[in-house]
Amino acid sequence: MLMNRAKALKILELLEKKYPNANIMLARDKFQLLIATVLSAQTADKQTIKVAKKLFQKYGTPEKLAGASLKKIESTIKEIGLYKIKAKRIKSIAKTINEHYNGKVPASMEELLKLPGVGRKTANIVLGKGFGKQEGIAIDTHAFRISRRLGLSKGKTALAVERDLMELLPKEKWTRFTDMLILHGRSICKAQKPKCEECFLNELCEWKNG
């Protein structure tokens, strides 16, 4: 574990040097951040932000989104994948927040996980970026893939990888670590044809060229 922690800290240091301004922010308002994060599943951030902006111009509060018809929500977000499923989910989330949390996004992992369709990844993003709370590490496809390739975790589920990373990394870096892995995954450590020869983490990587 001590060797893994030293390696993790070195990786963290190199990532921070490469991506000093890493801060992926889909929205600043807490409710809008929550909804945009739900919309972002299997969707590029650029498209998510575009669609979310259009949605929030019409329904930017829990009350407004909860009161909108499902058809109107679907019509507004139809440019993103799985829009019918997402429309139903975000309407349910808005209704729950409006009715059970006085229109305020809950500020704890326990309460966020009670919202319809909200899992740990979304909750970690909302807590980290919306409330400045480091309660966990958001594990998206990039974080999952790269953590395993680097040998920081051999976990086969997002939760297992998250737990391993939480043991290895300083708590104050948890939210930022995900952002840096996302940027690294987009530019170098891609799912298909990763640019291993260009990677500044190559010497620390257990995967390399497969």
- The pLDDT score that the predictor gives to residue 46 is 86
Active site residues: 121, 140
Work out the angle at residue 192's Cα, subtended by the Cα atoms of residues 188 and 195, and round it to the nearest 5 degrees: 30
Print the SS3 string covering the chain: CHHHHHHHHHHHHHHHHHCCCCCCCCCCCHHHHHHHHHHCCCCCHHHHHHHHHHHHHHCCCHHHHHHCCHHHHHHHHCCCCCHHHHHHHHHHHHHHHHHHCCCCCCCCHHHHCCCCCCCHHHHHHHHHHHCCCCCCCCCCHHHHHHHHHHCCCCCCCHHHHHHHHHHHCCHHHHHHHHHHHHHHHHHCCCCCCCCHHHCCCHHHCCCCCC
Could you tell me the pTM of the whole model? Answer: 0.92
- The pLDDT score that the predictor gives to residue 85 is 95
- The pLDDT score that the predictor gives to residue 25 is 85
CB 77 within 8 A of CB 65: no
List of domains in the chain: 2-23+136-204 (1.10.1670.10), 30-130 (1.10.340.30)
Q: What is the pLDDT along the chain (210 residues), one digit of tens a residue?
A: 556 899 999 999 999 999 999 998 888 899 999 999 999 988 888 898 899 999 999 999 999 999 999 999 999 999 998 999 999 999 999 999 999 999 999 999 999 999 999 999 999 999 999 999 999 999 999 999 999 999 999 999 999 999 999 999 999 999 999 999 999 999 999 999 999 999 999 999 998 644
- The pLDDT score that the predictor gives to residue 207 is 85
| Dihedral sign computed on CA atoms, order 70, 73, 78, 80 | negative
pLDDT of 154-197, one tens digit each? 999 999 999 999 999 999 999 999 999 999 999 999 999 999 99
**What would the two tokens of residue 83 be?**
């829009």
- The pLDDT score that the predictor gives to residue 209 is 45
